[in-house]
Amino acid sequence: MLRLQKYLAAAGVASRRRAEELIVAGRVRVGGRTVRELGTSVEDDAQVEVDGRVVRPAAVHTYVVLHKPVGVMTTMRDPEGRRTVADVVRRAGVTARVVPVGRLDYDTSGVLLLTDDGETANVLTHPRFGVEKMYRATVRGRLAPEAIEAIMRGVRLDEGRAAPAQLRVVAVRRDVSLVDITIHEGRNRQVRRMFEVVDHPVVALARLRFGPIALGELAPGAVRPATAREVTALHRIITDAKTEADA
């Protein structure tokens, strides 16, 4: 049994404070009855509706965040015996049967979410929902305005034009530029190929953010549990995706 506002937060509807506002506004029904009292207890099998839509808390799942180092495969096993993200998270003490959400190339580092929540993994990697991914790229040369404009407009790759990207030059050091680039697609080696098109090959690449999950100060090879705020944000993405699918 959960308090109603906690139930709504666990269902990914809103933060607990926002859930309280929804309750007071009369937008929440339990068992067909509008409930405005904060702190109302809800049975696990109760039917809870927000604006006429049934909501339920997500099952208890594991969400872990890894700073994938260069030289680690984003797979659970590798036939060639190379080190995998499964090796890293198991060594860190993760016992749940988590799998990586999406992938990072062997020579790319950065934030990687792993979970045993299949629904969340499917939505986060589905191109329809365009989850943001931000990278810090070190590229050769000084980026000319034309190159920046081309990437922000969307360069043409072998399989078709890439969607427009957000780009910011962070620094220029000797013969390389540090660039933050945000994309909404997940094509194979996409960032590297985009910079190749404008003749600025990538020297090093790290993913700083995947949706609501930020790398922060997590050290290479380190693992941490996703925070409650991050999990709530993930659940909200799922809720929005379901709403869009039903529209």
CATH architecture of 132-210: 2-Layer Sandwich (3.30)
b/e sequence 217-230, b meaning 16+ C-beta within 10 Å: eeebeebeebeeeb
Per-position DSSP letters for 92-158, written without gaps between them:
TT--S--EESS---TT-EEEEEEES-HHHHHHHH-GGG---EEEEEEEESPPPHHHHHHHHH--EET
Domain 63-127+218-246 and domain 132-210 have a common topology = yes
Separation CA 73–CA 85 (nearest Å)? 6
pLDDT digits (tens, 9 = 90+) for 88-106: 999 999 988 999 999 999 9
pLDDT beyond 60 at 196: yes
Q: What is the CATH number of domain 63-127+218-246?
A: 3.30.70.580
pLDDT beyond 60 at 192: yes
pLDDT digits (tens, 9 = 90+) for 222-237: 999 999 889 888 888 8
Residues composing the chain: 247
Question: Which residues form the catalytic set?
Answer: 105
pLDDT digits (tens, 9 = 90+) for 28-38: 999 999 999 99
pLDDT digits (tens, 9 = 90+) for 146-189: 999 999 999 999 999 999 999 999 999 989 999 999 999 989 99
> Can you give the pLDDT at residue 43?
81
CATH topology for the 2-55 domain: 3.10.290
Domain ranges for the chain: 2-55, 63-127+218-246, 132-210
